[in-house]
Amino acid sequence: MKKLFTLAAALLAFALQSNAGDYSTWGKLKVVGKQLSSQSGEPVQLRGWSTFGHFDGLEKAFNDEGDFQRMKQNGANLARIAMYINEGRGYQGNQDYNKQWVKDCIKWCKNQNMYCIVDWHILKPGNPNDYSGAEDFFREICQYVKNGGYDNVIYEICNEPNVDTDTDVMGKTVKDVWENVKKYAAKVLPVIKQGDGDAIVLVGTPQWDQGLAWPLQDPLDECGLENVMYSFHSYAGDQRRYLGYISSAAAFLPIFVSEWGLSSHTGDGGDFNEAKKTADMLMDICAGKNLGNQIISWANWSWCDKGEVASSFTNYDGNQWSQSGEYVKSALQKNNDYSKEASKPYKGEAQYFDGVNDFDLDLMKYDEGGVGIAFFDNDEDWKNSCRGACNMGNAGALDGIRDDEAVDLGYTYGDGESGLGDGYYSLGWISQSEWVKYTMDIEYGGIYEFEIFTSNRQHDVEAINKVAFALDGKNCLVEEDGTEYYKVVDLTPCHGGTESTSGYQEWGWAEVKSSYAPGKKFYLKLEKGRHVFAVAFMATSAGLGTVKFKGDPNNVGLNDTKANLNVSIWPNPAENGNVNISADSDAEVEIFTVDGINVYSGNVAAGETSELNLNLPAGIYSVSVKGEQGVKTEKLIVK
């Protein structure tokens, strides 16, 4: 049997799926894996504006159905209805009036074939449990939606939970915010499940919807709801450093950017030219340029003419768009190409784990492809892009190893016990939510123990030193029986930790554990074949020396039988990819480009020859032949 599969063809077919859909084409939405999808399961991206809500003296922040018609005419398929609780004509002041306002918005959006987010807009104070009325509000809105058949509705149960102080976002109080959200969600989610059980529900995250690491390490009980997503907010004027959160978490959580703006986080101020660069990065991340290749929906803040930088109008009645409004219009009218550019193995050679012997990941051999494709580095001084020597580790900055890329390579030091000395390259200067990819050939799929070689530096707050692992953009951290629940573990100091900087130069093996799951043991679930393994630092961390994959001796026979599989590949070099392959046992054949793209998958029967006419471009390819007697990998040159 001969089978030719090209990744390029699959990506092209996906790219042809225009993002210009709306409710009439996509129907009621659902979450498939991590991806927001249409009723038929196709990936979708919702894009539009958030209303400013009802504020006295700001009537032009919202008028009537004409607002939604105008949004639709400018390319939006989504509107977010910000139901403020205290501010302006807030819910607490006039509940019946505001319920009717939300109901009208739902109806008007449906008339325009738009989706809408019903946003319970808490802000100050940031504890959602401090407000009354949420359960009653969502119960009545769900009933209205059900009775009217308005299946264009998404529920956002708490805008921007936070600790309303000047406390550092990475401080211990962030844990309190997430505990508040979990307590609140346990009350509100059952109400929505009862009233509109298959709807999309957005759950806010600490701190002001930027703490995506928290549901990874301390999962939310979703009360039986299948379509829960997590909110992320971003303000391009002063929050570029937080883009790593969404870029890495997209491999582990379904995410919705329910609010973003081109101002500072206050809604005003910021360098607009720099903000546009940050917004461009966010748009790329939302279009799938992230660790999970997740297409992420968004709503811009905000649809009003308040006069702030974030306002879309300088004069609503005069149709005078602001700089922000013009940017968003342009983004809405852009037909995104969702094809994903793959990273490439370092110098064309994948790292190899035979499944039997222990294997140490070489952190220096991270994939090629650059920022957002092979890695995401968040050094604040360079603002996610190379401006001079970006590699801050001593291997790069001092010794010139991959020094033109923003991955901070260094060296490990002797751990004082094992005598390993400077045995590994390390990743250091780790900022929140950086990630790095490594292409691997994995001989045996299975659930493997692993260890981490790390420094002895211990930061003084529990919200940092967190690391996650992905295989092909999906979580691969599991418990022994394969259960996926916790998606992040601690990057534990090797000798108990110290709060002094001297710990940076002490290295050793550390136990893999989670402070949220004491006593649990964690494993990596790996699949056979060529895959991209990624390390994601979900918060600021001290340093990683290597990940050791523990071989399983029960995968017996590989080393003994590898040489017994006889494979012939000819001619080599081959013209246009016209090549013959034979083996002395039934075997699977895969051919990869140097950048890891599979260009052929098929089978060869024992003693027979497969004549392949692949019409491949000139270059170097890797041929993997796998049978019961072992595996052979050989290089194929096409001229």
Q: What is the pLDDT of residues 66-75, one digit of tens each?
A: 999 999 999 9
Burial 252-261 (b: 16+ CB within 10 A, else e): bbbbbbbbbb
In the set 156, 160, 443, 506, the catalytic residue is: 160
Active site residue 135: no
In the set 156, 259, 405, 590, the catalytic residue is: 259
CATH classification number, 558-638, choose in 3.30.70.980, 2.60.40.3080, 2.40.128.130, 3.40.50.1360? 2.60.40.3080
573 by Cβ neighbours in 10 Å (0-12 / 13-18 / 19+) ranks as exposed
Q: What percent of the chain has pLDDT over 70?
A: 85
Domain boundaries, the chain: 7-333, 346-549, 558-638
Predicted confidence (pLDDT) per residue in 460-513, tens digit: 555 568 899 999 999 999 999 899 999 999 888 887 776 666 667 788 888 888
Burial 170-184 (b: 16+ CB within 10 A, else e): bbebbbebbebbbeb
Active site residue 341: no
Q: How far apart are CA 159 and CA 124, in angstroms?
A: 10
List the one residue out of 592, 568, 577 whose CA is nearest residue 637: 577
Q: Measure CA 244 to chain center.
A: 9
Predicted confidence (pLDDT) per residue in 112-144, tens digit: 999 999 999 998 888 899 888 999 999 999 999
Confidence of residue 174 (pLDDT cuts 50, 70, 90): confident
- Does position 36 have pLDDT exceeding 60, yes or no? yes
Q: Mean pLDDT across the stretch 137-158?
A: 96
The residues that bridge with 632 in the sheet, in sequence order, are 625
66 by Cβ neighbours in 10 Å (0-12 / 13-18 / 19+) ranks as exposed
- Does position 65 have pLDDT exceeding 70, yes or no? yes
Predicted confidence (pLDDT) per residue in 410-463, tens digit: 888 654 443 344 578 999 888 778 899 999 999 999 999 999 998 877 765 555
CATH fold for domain 346-549: Jelly Rolls (2.60.120)
CB 221 within 8 A of CB 187: no
Predicted confidence (pLDDT) per residue in 324-372, tens digit: 999 999 999 887 767 677 899 999 999 999 999 999 999 999 999 988 8
- Tell me the average pLDDT of the chain: 84
CATH class entry, domain 7-333: alpha beta
Q: What is the pLDDT of residue 564?
A: 63
- Does position 1 have pLDDT exceeding 50, yes or no? no
Angle at which helices 95-111 and 134-148 pack, to 10 degrees? 30
Q: What is the pLDDT of residue 149?
A: 94
Q: Which residues contact 2 (CB under 8 A, 6 or more apart)?
A: 602, 610, 612
